[in-house]
Structure formats: C-alpha cells, structure tokens
Structure 1
Amino acid sequence: MAGLHVRSLLVTGANRGIGLGLVQHFLRMPNPPQWIFAGCRDPKGQRAQELQNLASKHPNVIIIPLEVANPASIKAAAAKVGEHLGGSGLNLLINNAGIFKPKTLDSETLEDMTEVYTTNTAGPLLMGQAFLPLLKKAAQGSPGSGLSCSKAALNMLSKCQSLAYREHGVLCVALHPGWVQTDMGSAAGHTPPVTVDDSVQGMLKVLSSLSEKETGTFLDWEGNVIPW
C-alpha cells in the first residue's frame, strides 16, 4: 500500500461498505491524495452519515452526487470533478458501486435484471467514457515513459476498456474484492470470511504493484489472477 501515490481519485458507492473503507484507507496514508472524490447516490441521506462526518473533518474529501445508472448524473459528476481539479487530471477511478438482488431463475424479473445490469455493467462503461478525458490528462502529465498511475479498478467491466484506453496511458483492471463483510456480502444470511479492512488493504496493495503487463487482467484482492 505504501507504494500507491495518487494526487486525485474518485470512488463510486463511497458511502458504505468497501467504498467507504477505501476512502478511510486513503485518508490514513502517510501522503494522502490531494483530492478524494466520494461518489454517493444520496449524499444527504442517513446512509451517507459516516461519509458526511469524514468530509467535515477532511477538506480533501469531496462528496459528489452520483448515480451510476443515470447518464446525466455521471456527466454532471465529471464536470464537477473537472472543476475541482482545474487543469490537472484524475489519477485513479474506482468503479466500486454495485447492487445485488438475490433471485432464483424462477423468481427473476426483467425489471430487476435490467437494473442490476445497468448499475453493475453499463455504469462502469459510462463512467469510463465520461472520465476518460480526465484520466488521459493525468496520464499525459505523468513523468517517464509507459503507463501512468491512472487506473480504472473495475468490478464488472472488462477487457474492452483496457484495449481501448491503453493507447492513452490508462491502466484498466478488474478487481475481485473477495466475499466481504458488508451489507451486500451478508445478504444471504452467512458471515463472509473477509473483513472490509483486509479487502481494501489487499486491493490497494495490488493497485500499488500494477504495471503495463497487468492491464486487462482480472485479479483478486490478494493479487491472484482469476481466469476470465
């Protein structure tokens, strides 16, 4: 984790679970980012209280209203982040937001299936499109050759972004956080084996060690390659 140095990052779904854990861990780094943009569907809601408390104590935490299933919300968030960054780019995009609706084949509905797909897959795609200019700007400003520290850490997408964004100096990987002790992870009634702290520390360690050869891969929170 000590090797991960980013000036700015955006985490979606930052109000609880793994997203909130990521924000907390970045704040605890010896050299925390200058800007931590915390995307949240309902910034003023009860579920965002802990995130609001963090933002009130840390001026580098900026809460961004963001619904990843809504293209207009994504566009507005990209504009707001761009305003804060001025002429600099965004170093790290973590597409963490996701939903889970336990269903059987018999009980699945088109409405629920569409909502899950829109949030978990189309959302990261649209996020990548909207924030690519800022990611490119950070990559172009990175010293040295090769890819910069800009990375899109994705849970639900996809080799395609890694191939399309590689020429711009942006690394894209999919990260599996493990079965984590969050509201979502515990939804099935069982206690998951991995704590939020362990998952987040593991993923940040993986991110800090990434190089060009890992772009387009699917890795778990301990750095193991998962077959596609």
Structure 2
Amino acid sequence: MDQNAPLSILRIRGMQVDTISICLLTAKLDDTKFHAGVPERHEDYLSKLTSQLYGMSKEHVRRSTRSFNRTFFQVTTAGLTPEHKDVRYEPLDAFESIINLSEEQARPRTPDGSFTLIDDRGYAALEGQSINRYIASLQRLMNRRLFVTLSGHLGLGPAGMMSGDTVAILFGGNVPYILRPLENKQWHFVGECYLDGYMDGEAMEGRDPSKDEWFGMV
C-alpha cells in the first residue's frame, strides 16, 4: 500500500491478470430466508438455475466435458464444501445428476427427505450422495454472478460486475479482485472473486515484476 497517496485515494500494488468478457445471470433469493440448511422451497430454484448457468457458460469455455464439469463445480461453490473444506476432493456425482436431470423426469424423495436423482441414462445417484450437499454449497452463488474472461477462464464475482471490468491481483490479498477502470488511471473497487486458475497462489506463478502497477482506487 502506498502510504504517500492522498487520503482520498487508496493505492495498492498489484497486477492485472485478465478482463471480463461475458457476465451471466445473477442468482437472486431472499437472503433472510436462505441458509446452509437450504429450505426445501429453494432446491428447485437452485437446481434449475445451476443447469441454466451450466449450459450458458459451457458455450464460452473450451474444455472437455469432464474438465469443464470439475471447473464449474469448483466455481459455483467458490471452491468450498459446506464444511468450508477444499471442494477439489469432492466427487461430482450429485452435481452431475443435477445437470443430467431433464425437466420431464421425476425427483422422488427418500424416507430421510433427500432427493434420489435419476440421470438421463436411468441410473440413480450414488446411495447416500444427497443433492442437498451440493445445493448447500451453492449459498456462495447467491447475489453473485458467473463470468467468463477474455482468456476463457470461468469465475464467480459480485452481482454488480460488468463486461470490461478487470481481474487483478492485489498484493497482500487472499483472492483475486474485480476492478473497474475509470478516468485518469483510477479504479473502482467492485469486489472479490473466485477465478479458476488464479486461486491458491496460481496467479503468481511465472509472474513478471515489470508488469506490476499501482491501482489508485476512489
């Protein structure tokens, strides 16, 4: 942080890593009623929204289906399980059941109240693998939106972000951030984001210090 900057400006050292190309739908739900337990009335909304976002984002991210599924799974959960552990070690079965489920297929409930999903091949989801586990992780999707960068990376950011915004790494921060360029080389801070390929220090690999710059935020 630049200690000599005017009080009206927050100047932080960092680097630009990508630019927002496309912003997708914003997930909206009454926050006062939404929690990790996921009330029953929210499951259908989140399942349908997830399937819709999956189809929209897959059109713009060029990867194999398996690779894209893992990326989409991590991005929509912001990389965390309901217990706030690394989602990279989670199986994809419940998520893929949601994606494969067609609107015409029934969703019977088991005695414990969870869903038994039947995918388009006619197979039930793994026994004991509840859809509710993945749905519960989608609380991090609420009031945010998926986006695709110019380089083809999928991310999750603030609802107020726009195409043309910049993804930047601010040194000392824990995650990438969304900044909006203004006049006179100043920036508007939009918020933090989860961006595939740039988490857990990945953005700093192969860093070129000559591309570091000061971001003056107003």
Shorter-chain TM-score tier: under 0.3
Higher strand share: 2
Higher helix share: 1
Question: Could you tell me the TM-score, scaled by structure 1's length?
Answer: 0.23
